[in-house]
Amino acid sequence: MSWQQNVKFECYERFRSPNRNAGPVEPGFYSRAAYFLARTNNMRKPVIAGNWKMYKTIAEAVDFIEKIKPVAAEAGHCEVIVGPPFTALSASAAAAKGSKVSVAAQNCHWDKEGAHTGDISTGMLRDAGCTHVIIGHSERRHDCGETDEQVNKKVKAALAAGLAPIFCVGETLAERESSETEKVLERQFVGGLAGLTPGDFSRIMIAYEPVWAIGTGRTATPEMAADAHRFLRGLARRQFGEQEANGVRILYGGSVKPDNVGALMAQEEIDGALVGGASLKVDSFRALVNYPRG
Ligand code: PEP
């Protein structure tokens, strides 16, 4: 019997059948039971999210969404999110309205309004119809010098505007090779989420995206990704408590493709995928949404 089957059996035996006084439980039973029930009760419904970066015109974005709407409608097992560029947000949200496709922006400013040429506020994103916003993507951290402090201000602004942040963290290759992965993840997690309450935290998703795996074709092995997710969940437990840690969805990102998504999603710790390149074509995004399930 796998541990999942074992826990299911034990839960049934102890809580639903007349055999309620069935002796002492194995060590770790209750935490495994909580984890299992969280998963089966869909507290952590998987998420497949596409980050379209600087690709797609308005017409291309709308056409894509029209084609993916029936796919999302059939995909009761996961949430489907697309992240068009700013110019296509409004039209994308209009196309997605009433469907199971949600629309995420790829960045935001923390101020409500002001003299910030080229920036977009969280209120404007809401106005455009977004429900989510990607914050702290490594391309912004590295191309635009975004700091943990700025990421933190963006997360707070997004929450205040009623948007769900998809908060990205991840180490560079040099950091992994010098065994600094956990140190970097901890710095980004603690800095990026400083000052949040457990209630705030329950509204965010985390995306673990090792920088060396983004757009490179080099994917973290499912075990490597799961280790990092476990570490992040431990940080969540320390900072926000057991319930929030068990509930937070941690997506993996970094060269996820139709042929590797199944192995990644088979890991209990991996609650979804944030996908760049392979989210741009309808066929490949459809295959990601319909990832192989046990
Ligand atoms: C990303 O942009 O978040 C990403 C993970 O890109 P890719 O899937 O292309 O590696």
N-terminal to C-terminal alpha carbon distance within the chain = 15
Distance between alpha carbon 58 and the CA centroid of its chain, in Å?
A: 25
Token look-up 């989420």 returns 193
* CA-nearest residue, atom 7 of ligand 1: 276
211 Cβ inside 6 Å of ligand 1: no
Asked if 155 contacts 204 with a C-beta cutoff of 8 angstroms, the reply is yes
CB count within 10 Å of CB 242 equals 11
Report helix, strand or coil for 270: coil
Q: Work out the angle between the directed axes of helices 3-11 and 29-40 (0-180°, nearest 10).
A: 90
pLDDT digits (tens, 9 = 90+) for 133-179: 999 999 999 999 999 999 999 999 999 999 999 999 999 999 999 99
Q: What is residue 42's predicted lDDT score, i.e. its pLDDT?
A: 47
Backbone Cα Rg of the chain: 19
Q: What is residue 17's predicted lDDT score, i.e. its pLDDT?
A: 46
Which bin fits 129, alpha (ψ -120 to 50), beta or left (φ > 0)? left
Q: What is residue 2's predicted lDDT score, i.e. its pLDDT?
A: 45
Question: For residues 48 and 291, what is the distance between their CA atoms, to the nearest angstrom?
Answer: 9
Cα 278 to ligand 1 centroid, rounded to whole Å: 8
Strands 47-51 and 272-275: parallel
Identify the residue with better confidence: 43 or 279.
Answer: 279
The share of the chain scoring above pLDDT 90, in percent, equals 83
Asked if 103 contacts 84 with a C-beta cutoff of 8 angstroms, the reply is yes
Question: For residues 171 and 241, what is the distance between their CA atoms, to the nearest angstrom?
Answer: 25
pLDDT digits (tens, 9 = 90+) for 176-213: 999 999 999 999 999 999 999 999 999 999 999 999 99
Q: Where are the alpha helices (DSSP H) in the chain?
A: 3-11, 29-40, 58-74, 89-96, 122-128, 138-143, 148-160, 173-177, 181-192, 198-201, 222-240, 242-247, 261-265, 282-289
* CA-nearest residue, atom 8 of ligand 1: 276
274 Cβ inside 6 Å of ligand 1: yes
- The DSSP letter of residue 212 is G
Residue 21, token pair as written in the block: 């006084």
Average pLDDT (35-56) is 80
pLDDT digits (tens, 9 = 90+) for 230-289: 999 999 999 999 999 999 999 999 999 999 999 999 999 999 999 999 999 999 999 999
pTM equals 0.87
Q: Does the annotation mark 142 as catalytic? A: no
277 Cβ inside 6 Å of ligand 1: yes
Instruction: Give which of 7, 9, 31, 32 is closest to 19, Cα–Cα.
Output: 9
Q: What is residue 37's predicted lDDT score, i.e. its pLDDT?
A: 55
Cα 246 to ligand 1 centroid, rounded to whole Å: 25
Q: What is residue 217's predicted lDDT score, i.e. its pLDDT?
A: 86
Cα 51 to ligand 1 centroid, rounded to whole Å: 7
Average pLDDT (62-87) is 98
pLDDT at 4 exceeding the cut of 60: no
CB proximity list for 93: less than 8 A, separation 6 or greater: 103, 128, 129, 130
